[in-house]
Amino acid sequence: MHKIGYLGPRGTFSEEAALRHLGERKGETAGCSSIEEIFSGVAEGRFDEGIVPVENSTEGSVGAVLDLLAGPFNLAVRGEVLLPVCQSLMVRPGTRLDQVEKVFSHSQALAQCSRFLRRELPGALPVECSSTAAAAAKVAGSSRPWAALGPARAAAVYGLQVVVPAANDYPDNATRFWVLGREQVPCAAAHGYKTSIIFGLQDRPGALYAVLREFALRGINLTRIESRPAKKNLGDYVFFIDFLGSQGQPGVQEVLGGVASLTVGLKILGSYPAWNCAGTDALASGGREASLTLAGLRRELDAVDARIAELLAQRTRLIDRVASLKQNEGNIRDPLREEQILSRVRQLSLTAGGDTELAEEVWRVILRHSVRRQASRLASGAAGNRQQALPQAP
Ligand SMILES: O=C(O)C(=O)Cc1ccccc1
């Protein structure tokens, strides 16, 4: 059975990314205790593929992963998964927030919540763990008043209680994962692909410009450019570029020929289906033809549903903030604003080629729930606690 190595134990964001990559295909996931173990597991054939975080929208690149790709391992990039990352603060049932002495998590997760930690838990010591789920397991196994930051799924796996559902400083926090394998995916001459390369440069004026010119001349769009220290002399760098296009396309082959002649040690990591902006993973898990099969279409539907659920959760959090600005139940309804929202979504749906009746019906339900939620928060005082001194919403 297809086996995928991920940063474990069970319940990490990496496991979630591996499951999304698998979609409906049969496969097995194997939790590893370090990123190096994933790389060596794939290189030595214990895993068919490995999944590793490459960059985060808040914290930037995962240097260790880029260094391993540039350095000792000759692995290929076979796909990407874009995962929205919501960091939940979790404790053992019974632990109060004001008791928390230490907060455990992966270094990226602690960094993604640094402002939250300073503001809400200034007395607690942040402690790095190998992963968010390892942190959750540590908190669950101790009788100390500790907390962990990680996916809400990890709280469910280790019997912890989520006390703050979204502690990340930026609500759109997301991580890009790469699917690694021993061989590149066969090159398609299709659109919707990305290609990733690594190279070094001679130290002379315009060296990087000459490389970028190759892309510009052929109208090829870069999606990421990054440099890492080459770990030799200070000032020597390794460059990482991702761009739109596949090695099956003649323009891309020309660019790669040009880049090879202008750089040192060019490594082509691979061409792979880009994770579609709508979060659709059908391309990432089987190529374009996946959308032509029932299983492929269901995978696309599942990915769209996941997006909708995440957006609804984001909307609910905004509604709670709106509620905290309202002082009494008389301010909750605003028929003019509700009519504006409905008319705007009808228009948006029309422009997007959607079903406007469906959009209107769904938004009527959403608005009804928003009003009900605000009313119950105001009645219970949950929204009102912080607002005495705050101004009325316009
Ligand atoms: O620790 C995890 O859950 C991981 O998968 C690594 C990670 C940590 C924070 C954001 C994304 C991935």
Element (H, E) at 266: strand 264-273
What three-state secondary structure class fits 51? strand
**What is the rounded (10 degree) CA torsion for 97, 99, 104, 109?**
30
Averaged pLDDT for residues 112-137: 97
Query: What b-and-e string marks burial along 121-132, b requiring 16 or more CB atoms within 10 Å of the CB?
Result: beebebeebbbb
pLDDT over threshold 70, residue 267: yes
Ligand 1 test: best mutation among 21, 106, 113, most atoms within 8 Å of CB?
106
8 A C-beta contact, residue 263 and residue 269: no
What percentage of the chain exceeds 90 in pLDDT?
69
Rounded CA gap, 69 and 191, in Å?
25
Q: Does ligand 1 come within 6 angstroms of the Cβ of 14?
A: yes
* pLDDT value of residue 119: 97
**Catalytic residue from among 13, 177, 199, 239:** 177
Prediction ipTM score: 0.95
Domains belonging to the chain, first-starting first, are: 1-83+173-181 (3.40.190.10), 88-164 (3.40.190.10), 184-289 (3.30.70.260), 294-380 (1.20.59.10)
Q: Does ligand 1 come within 6 angstroms of the Cβ of 109?
A: yes
Q: Does ligand 1 come within 6 angstroms of the Cβ of 20?
A: no
pLDDT over threshold 80, residue 285: no
Among the listed ranges 237-241, 322-326, 350-354, 373-377, which one has the minimum average pLDDT value? 350-354
Ligand 1 test: best mutation among 103, 108, 112, 149, most atoms within 8 Å of CB?
108
pLDDT over threshold 80, residue 302: no
Q: How far is the CA of 154 from the centre of ligand 1 (A)?
A: 11
Among the listed ranges 78-87, 117-126, 330-339, which one has the minimum average pLDDT value? 330-339
Integer angstrom CA distances of residue 138 from 65, 114, 142, 154, 325: 25, 20, 6, 12, 38
- pLDDT band at residue 281 using 50, 70 and 90 as cut-offs: very low
Has 177 been annotated as catalytic? Answer: yes
- pLDDT band at residue 292 using 50, 70 and 90 as cut-offs: low
- pLDDT band at residue 289 using 50, 70 and 90 as cut-offs: very low
Q: Does ligand 1 come within 6 angstroms of the Cβ of 84?
A: no
pLDDT over threshold 90, residue 283: no
Element (H, E) at 19: helix 13-22
Has 13 been annotated as catalytic? Answer: no
Query: What b-and-e string marks burial along 269-279, b requiring 16 or more CB atoms within 10 Å of the CB?
Result: bbbbbbbeeeb
